[in-house]
Amino acid sequence: MWLYLAAFLGLYLLLRWYREKQILSHLTEKYVFITGCDSGFGNLLARQLDARGFRVLAGCLTQQGAEKLKEATSERLQTTLLDVTSTESVIKAMEWAKGLVGDKGLWGLVNNAGISVPTAPNEWLTKEDFQKILDINLLGVFDVTKHMLPLLRKAKGRIVNVASVMGRVSFFGGGYCPSKYGVEAFSDSLRMEISKFGVKVCIIEPGYFQTAITNEKILLDNFTRYWERLPNEIKQAYGEAYFQAMLKGTAEMQAHCNRDLSLVTNCMEHALTAVHPRKRYSAGWDAKLFYIPMSYMPTRIMDLVFGWSYPK
């Protein structure tokens, strides 16, 4: 029996490997729009796809980011300024993209733009702190997708949404984890709604990676700023030792985070180029071997595992 089971598993893995190795042709004729290309995953993906011959349309928040990206890529790559929190900016970017893609439509949309701070214990934050992240990480994904869908339908293309393992498990406060849970939910419902048009939706779930928005200085400054503005009553309730332990824990996590961003962008590239893309991609061994398996565990076990990181 075990021999048959091993043979079946081996055949399944072989067939899966074969399917995933099938890559689309005529990549140089396909247009891909990427948000958040100033730095991090978006910037690397734009350069990576440009090298593959794609016609990359890169949305950058700043003129400086756009200029630096243009300097590092070919003439095929085009940039536009895009603030995903502004519907007016999103519509302008859509009209710009529409003029470039013409009747071919848009093959790929990568919703990558995002921020990770403000992050702190929930009681330290305000509604506006949560809203700042949700406007970019979740509502921005919805707004860009909504306005680009007609172009994607025309090409029967792909939508690649960047979620996170923190969209499966949540062990720190602030709007980041709720925003990524929201991206997961939005992507799942969208995938079923638009499958009739031949448009595929893929979710990228990176583990803990070091990017411009998650570097140690930004996170430590973030904790300090929100601690200092707290009323004395709340400071006394938590205590200085709690605050110092939070700073130490954050620094330790940053020391162990992954700096190889290509593990994430390779997943994005496969989602855009494979004949049979996955519905979900996990990037990083911490995602594959720890965070995602942990998301299936009973809540009691999750609380025990993640609870140790909180100061007592």
310 noted as active-site residue: no
Residue of 4, 18, 31, 176 marked catalytic: 176
CB 203 within 8 A of CB 280: yes
Q: Any idea what DSSP says for residue 158?
A: E
Q: Rounded to a whole number, what is the distance in angstroms from the first to the last CA of the chain? A: 50
Q: Any idea what DSSP says for residue 275?
A: S
The pair of structure tokens assigned to 77 is 């790559």
The pair of structure tokens assigned to 306 is 């993640």
For residue 199, what are the contacts with CB-CB under 8 A and spacing of at least 6? Answer: 149, 152, 153, 156, 157, 158, 159
Distance CA 66, CA 37 (A): 8
Cβ neighbours around 101 below 10 Å, total = 21
Three-state DSSP class for residue 112: coil
CB 199 within 8 A of CB 153: yes
**What is the residue-wise DSSP string for 81-96?**
E--TT-HHHHHHHHHH
CB 209 within 8 A of CB 166: no
Sheet holding 158-162, edge to edge: 78-81, 55-60, 31-34, 108-111, 158-162, 200-206, 280-283
CA 120 to chain centre: 20
In one-letter notation, the amino acid at residue 191 is R
Distance CA 235, CA 131 (A): 24
Cβ neighbours around 304 below 10 Å, total = 11
User: Could you give the residue numbers annotated as active site?
Assistant: 176
